[in-house]
Amino acid sequence: MRIRSVVALVAVLSLAACSGDTGPLSTDVLPDQPAVTQTAPPAETAPAPNCNPRASLRPAGSLPAPGDMPAGSYMETIRKRGRLVLGTSQDTLLFSSRNPFTGKIEGFDVDMGRQIAEAIFGDADKIQIKVIAYDKRVSSAADGSVDIVADTMTANCDRWQDVNFSSIYYEAGQKVLVSSSSKAKRIEDLGGQKVCSAAGSTSYENIGKVKSSKPVIGVAKPAFGDCLVAFQRNEVQGISTDDTILAGMASQDPYAKVIGPRFTEEPYAMAMSQAHPEFARFVNAVLARNRADGTWKKTYDKWLGDFGAAPEPPKAQYQ
């Protein structure tokens, strides 16, 4: 079992102010952002563009050999630089969190990035992790601050306007975490109460769409680790995000439980700049290979196997 103690969790959270490096390569950590408490946005928002957010760019063909990237491609630019820059968080348990014993950021999402680095260099360690806030995931990919973002990021039509997404690599759905003594059975039972989620996440937006007798009060924090601290201090009555992330939180807190059915679909994809469509095609070729050769399943078993047998990986859809 990969369940750590609550003390270890506190160590992870206390390290959040440290550098975001996972190895000898240099790194750049963004400063913490102030928390915001407000009612989550209402459901009456402008309609999203009509698209299939799961459909990505089709791979161009077979993968080039590691170290031999096509001339003029963005993959060649990355190879010449000597490292892939991955944007992610450092406190999303099981997906991208700092190991309190090694100081390295690790998890399912980090391994997704490492697999791209391995395909480019033949060496998964040639990766630099840049810790980014949840509400900077789209902008960091769009402006080239990072090469790729893998950070429990839902592909949706609004975001497709600003970035290219890979094919879907994980299927999640939103639930809510509450105190083990709570009488609530689902998020609708938390009307009039405070529920925390990360600023800039679709999870936070979805809180405002919950129909209950009283509006659920959305509380936005810079990261889900901050939500967990607020929950443990009784500043909020719940945390709402994707089910697997919540399961990781609940494994760290014996006084918490995850309730209710999934009330959203959250297809995870990696985000990249639209300036380099060949890179998105390359990433999709790596994902296709990893689905076929069992790498995806091994990655699932490594990080999420405590929650049961690995499902079939999400099938790729292309434009």
pTM of the model: 0.80
The pLDDT tens digits of the residues spanning 8-47 come to 343 333 333 333 333 334 333 333 333 344 444 444 444 4
Identify the band that residue 307 occupies on the pLDDT scale cut at 50, 70 and 90: confident
Strand order in the sheet with 96-98: 91-92, 96-98, 105-106
Beta bridge partners of 238: 178, 195
Strand order in the sheet with 256-259: 36-37, 217-221, 194-198, 238-242, 174-179, 256-259
Q: How far is CA 188 from CA 104, 172, 200, 211, in A?
A: 38, 20, 22, 7
- pLDDT score for 49: 61
Mean pLDDT, residues 252-262 taken together: 92
Task: Give the tokens for residue 280.
Answer: 């998105």
**Which residue intervals of 175-219 are DSSP H helices?**
202-207
User: Residue 109, exposed/middle/buried by CB under 10 A (0-12, 13-18, 19+)?
Assistant: buried
Mean pLDDT, residues 303-307 taken together: 88
**Which residue intervals of the chain are DSSP H helices?**
6-14, 74-81, 108-121, 137-142, 157-160, 202-207, 224-232, 243-252, 277-293, 295-304
- pLDDT score for 134: 87
CATH topology of domain 6-31+71-171+266-305: D-Maltodextrin-Binding Protein; domain 2 (3.40.190)
Q: How far is CA 47 from CA 51, 158, 204, 245, 268, in A?
A: 11, 9, 17, 28, 21
What CATH superfamily classification does 173-259 receive?
Periplasmic binding protein-like II (3.40.190.10)
The pLDDT tens digits of the residues spanning 100-134 come to 999 999 999 999 999 999 999 999 999 999 999 98
Q: Does pLDDT of 248 surpass 90? A: no
Vertex 271, ends 81 and 218: CA angle to 5°?
Answer: 130
Q: Does pLDDT of 271 surpass 50? A: yes
Mean pLDDT, residues 137-142 taken together: 97
Task: Give the tokens for residue 176.
Answer: 């809510």
Q: Does pLDDT of 173 surpass 70? A: yes
Can you state the percent helix, strand and coil of the chain, rounding each to 5?
35, 20, 45
- pLDDT score for 5: 34
d(CA 122, CA 207): 42
Domain boundaries, the chain: 6-31+71-171+266-305, 173-259
Identical fold, 6-31+71-171+266-305 and 173-259: yes
Question: Among 14-23, 243-252, 276-285, whose mean pLDDT is lowest?
Answer: 14-23
CB 172 within 8 A of CB 268: yes
Mean pLDDT, residues 221-241 taken together: 94
- Counting DSSP H helices and E strands in the chain, the numbers are 10, 18
